[in-house]
């Protein structure tokens, strides 16, 4: 079976600070698989993920529009359109928008645990526009 997903027809998730929006294209709910998690992210200027890591999960960002910095054990580096960032499992990382940012991300497998290193458990909460809540694990 081939799936066709249209961004404007998918559930939108908003972070607790209303600075980041996530739209999944592939996840357990939409494609009935847990081999990967994929979707797009929109960040407002200065929005950032908390410093965190994922156990048992490789993480990729492909920057489509806007500029940001990516923080890892290697330091802080600027990224922009056309850049792909690969975060190995258990690598500390944070993405911070230096201007409005739009990117595609995927994580595999979708059987991972996220550990927040700087921030709170609220950083794992995403409110869906339909009133449901998604807690990142």
> What is Dmax (Cα atoms) for the chain?
42
Residue 46 pLDDT: 97
Give pLDDT < 50 ranges for the chain. Answer: none
Residue 134 pLDDT: 62
Q: Is pTM, for the whole model, over 0.85?
A: yes
Residue 113 pLDDT: 81
Q: Which domains does the chain have, with CATH numbers?
A: 12-135 (2.60.120.10)
Rounded to an integer, what distance in angstroms lies between the CA atom of residue 37 and that of residue 26?
A: 5
Residue 27 pLDDT: 75
Residue 123 pLDDT: 78
Fill in the DSSP letter of residue 93.
B
**What would the pLDDT profile of 19-47 be if each residue is shown by its tens digit?**
999 998 877 777 777 787 889 999 999 99
């Amino acid at each position: 079976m081939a799936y066709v997903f249209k961004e404007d027809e998918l559930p939108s998730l908003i972070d607790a600070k209303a600075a980041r929006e996530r739209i999944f294209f592939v996840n357990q709910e939409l494609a009935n698989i847990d081999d990967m998690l994929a979707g797009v992210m929109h960040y407002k200027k200065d929005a950032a993920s908390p410093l965190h890591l994922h156990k048992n999960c490789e993480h990729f960002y492909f920057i489509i529009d806007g500029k940001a910095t990516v923080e890892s054990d290697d330091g802080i580096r600027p990224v922009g359109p056309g850049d792909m960032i690969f975060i190995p499992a258990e690598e500390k990382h944070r993405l911070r928008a230096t201007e409005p940012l739009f990117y595609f991300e995927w994580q595999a497998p979708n059987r991972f645990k996220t550990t927040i290193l700087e921030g709170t458990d609220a950083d794992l909460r995403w409110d869906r526009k339909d009133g449901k809540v998604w807690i990142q694990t």
